[in-house]
Chains A and B, each alone.
Chain A
């Protein structure tokens, strides 16, 4: 059994999380300023999630193929995604062990890590509100 029962559920949870964060007055502008476009290649359920600096003022969340070129590309399963945002696995360890495969220059990936902090903070509550297990 995967955590996300289908693609629609995952889109609601992960897409919703990023939309919420991009609207946040602190995270949103910081993310846009970083100039980083992230592409998540997710399996089980399969989907491509893009988080981009959008028009340069408001970041954007998109699903499926996208015209932009990703600065950083993360390949991982839906379950790993869930555990990652719950901080049950740390990024470097997930990367070193191959649970997450990252493509992109190392300094860009390292730049991304502190930016993601608000996502970790928001996720447990967010996941719970969508009926997902968080322990």
Chain B
């Protein structure tokens, strides 16, 4: 059963059913798998484990990798409210798998903005029809030397020629040739088959001189690093990608410097709105565990829940989650229905919801007492998952500065 009351009285039967189904998948498949995989020390072992692939395949089989893609190609094509509902439920089970499945669509999603016959045949349709996780996408934007620098469109430093990317693409005839490296943070990095890559095309424009292209990762000159060992979201594979004279057809370069900054704004708006929805799910997961525990753990002769201090804390967690859902749904519904989007709302949602997930998970650990920090219980995992999110898709403090430029 889903542990919150749906305040949207207009939700249809089909939307309620979609929520229940996603919740069931999250409870029965994603949550147990991600807890099991979280216990594995070496991230290389995670991606070699049959459990990881079995879980990814089930997610693909249900089409969760295609929620952003049109049904005409075979995508799930959920509307903005449904997208929020699905992401919240998936992340309630496992934010690691929810992000892995969500980010996977990036190459096909961007290709569907400029749908030439070749892109439809090579990229979009095969991805939509993939039901065994044999085609996986990733988003390669940040670099070892440029993290926040890459994610600050329309700020003063973004167009400073003294600051430009270390992954470069140059035109040669009908091809683009790519050299350089993307950061160890690229989600799905070492398991991806395709990258939506953001290289620099014109360094004289600084970070604004970028482009957006699709790189099949089986091309000569592509090399991948080892999976990154990190705090939280451990079933989300990450790793660097190196490019050494990699050649792609010109048709795979989707965006040039002329519109790069605007398209980055669209990218960040889309990704940050999704992050908001996802981390409502994480906050809720932590809150529900803490509420159940508080009703059963006896101290001072009665359940923790009967102590005013604990009740007050739980209600404060409840309020934050409801506020986070209201903001992130509104931001997603507006920005996924309007192009160009208003990035400040997506960023407000991302920052608010990830901060909320962190605060709620921290309070939940506190309510669990010593058990909260024990790996026997899922609380410390939620806490770690939430902490990583405050840096993921842009460090919250810097994102706020980027968004503030729009006030």
Q: Are B69 and A91 in contact (CB under 8 A)?
A: no
Chain A interface residue number, banded: 20 to 34
Contacts A97-B340, A114-B115: A92 and B263 contacting too (C-beta < 8 A)? yes
Q: A92-B255, A93-B259, A97-B259 are in contact. Are A110 and B113 (CB under 8 A)?
A: yes
Interface of A is mostly: helix
Which of chain A's residues have a CB closer than 8 A to the CB of B254? Answer: 92
A111 touches B80 (CB 8 A): no
Interface flags for A103-128 (1: CB within 8 Å of B; 0: not) read 11111111101110000000000000
B79 touching A105, Cβ below 8 Å = yes
Which of the listed residues B72, B254, B259, B262 has the most CB atoms from chain A within 10 Å of its own CB?
Answer: B72
A67 adjacent to chain B (CB < 8 Å): no
A114/B77 contact (C-beta < 8 A), A98-B340, A105-B337, A109-B339 known: no
| A92-B255, A93-B263 known; A34 vs B72 contact (CB < 8 Å) | yes
In the assembled complex, the Cα of A43 lies from the Cα of B313 at a distance in Å of: 54
- Complex alpha-carbon distance, A83 and B80, angstroms: 30
Question: B69 near A107 (CB under 8 angstroms)?
Answer: yes
Contact A107–B262 (Cβ < 8 Å): no
Contact A101 B259 (CB under 8 A): no
Does chain B have a CB within 8 A of A96?
Answer: yes
User: Does B323 touch A at the CB level, under 8 Å?
Assistant: no
In whole angstroms, how far apart are the Cα atoms of A95 and B341 in the complex? 9
A113 adjacent to B112 (CB under 8 Å): yes
Q: Quick check: is A12 within 8 A (CB to CB) of the other chain?
A: no
**A105 touches which one: B255, B266, B270, B336 (CB < 8 A)?**
B336
Give which listed residue, A95, A106, A110, contacts B340 with CB less than 8 A: A95
Q: Does A102 contact B (CB under 8 A)?
A: yes
Distance in Å: Cβ of A120 to nearest Cβ of chain B: 11
Residues on the B chain within 8 Å of A101, using CB = 338-340
A114 nearest in chain B by CB position: B115
Instruction: Enumerate chain B residues within 8 angstroms of A107, measured Cβ to Cβ.
Output: 68-71, 75, 77-79
Q: Which of A96, A102, A106 contacts B80 (CB 8 A)?
A: A106
Residues in B neighbouring A113, C-beta threshold 8 A: 112-115
Select which of B69, B71, B338, B339 is within 8 A of A96 by beta carbon. Answer: B339
* Per-residue B-contact encoding for A21-34, CB less than 8 Å = 1, 0 else: 00000000000001
Check B77 against A111 for contact (C-beta < 8 Å): yes
Please give me the residue from chain A that is nearest to B260 by CB atom.
A96
Cβ of A134 under 8 Å from chain B: no
The 3 closest A-B pairs by CB, nearest first: A96-B262, A111-B70, A107-B77
**Chain A residues within 8 Å of B, Cβ to Cβ:** 34, 90-93, 95-98, 100-111, 113-115
Interface, chain B (partner A; CB < 8 A)? 68-72, 75, 77-80, 109, 112-115, 120, 254-255, 258-259, 262-263, 265-266, 270, 336-340
18 contacts between A and B (CB under 8 A): A90-B114, A93-B258, A93-B263, A95-B339, A96-B259, A96-B339, A97-B259, A97-B262, A98-B262, A100-B339, A101-B339, A101-B340, A106-B337, A110-B70, A110-B115, A111-B70, A113-B113, A114-B72
